[in-house]
Structures are given as structure tokens and as C-alpha cells.
Amino acid sequence: MANELNKEVKFEWKKLFSYRWIVKNVSFFLYLALLAVIYISNGHYADKMIRNINSTGKELKELEYEYKTVNGEIMFRSKQSELSKAVEPMGLKESKVPPFKLVDSLKTVKE
């Protein structure tokens, strides 16, 4: 009895995967193959974009560090003491006399 049941099950599988069934469903198999190719392609594209995002993030961090370094250097060099040291070889000195305002005498006469 069990032997006959196994033969019937095997027979059904042979019927299911017959040449006619395969030919009838070729378009569906091609559709599945196309979906598999698109799925794999999408995975590769996502990996590529993630690598690109990570490399851009690293580059951004490097540029931020460079900006902070240069900005700190500019702040240091623009201090009054550093400026006076930098212009001293050119013969320039810090003025001890406070600045004064120039007034146009012709402009005050007309009013």
C-alpha cells in the first residue's frame, strides 16, 4: 500500500515538471530571472552608494579638521603681538600716539 502511494507521488511530480509545463511557463521563468538580476544589481548599487557615502563622510571630516587647524592658525597670527612680530622686519612699529579725526574745514564753512 505504501509502495503504491510513493509511486503515485513520484508520478505527480513527473507530471508537474513535464516538458509542456516548462514550455508553458517559460515567460514566468524569464520574469523570475529578470527579477533576480534586478535584485542583484540593486544590491551592488546600494553597496557602491554606501562606499561613496562613507568616503565622502571621511573626506568631510578631514576638511573639517583642516578648517579648524587653519582657522586656529589665522586667529593666532592675527593677534596684536603676533602682527607686531611679523611687521617688525619691515621696519614698522606699533604707534604710541592715539589716532585723531580729520575734519574737512571747507565742508564746515559751507554749512
Average of pLDDT values for 70-89? 90
Residue that wins the pLDDT comparison between 79 and 9:
79
Domain annotation covers residue 49? yes
Residue 77: half-sphere exposure toward Cβ, Cα within 13 Å: 8
H/E element holding 70?
Answer: helix 26-77
Number of domains forming the structure of the chain: 1
Cell of 92: 614698522
Per-residue pLDDT at 108: 62
Range of the domain at 52: 2-85
pLDDT in tens, 18-67: 888 889 999 999 999 999 999 999 999 999 999 999 999 999 999 999 99
Residue 46 has what pLDDT? Answer: 98
Q: Is residue 75 part of a domain?
A: yes
How far is residue 109 CA from its own chain's centroid?
A: 65
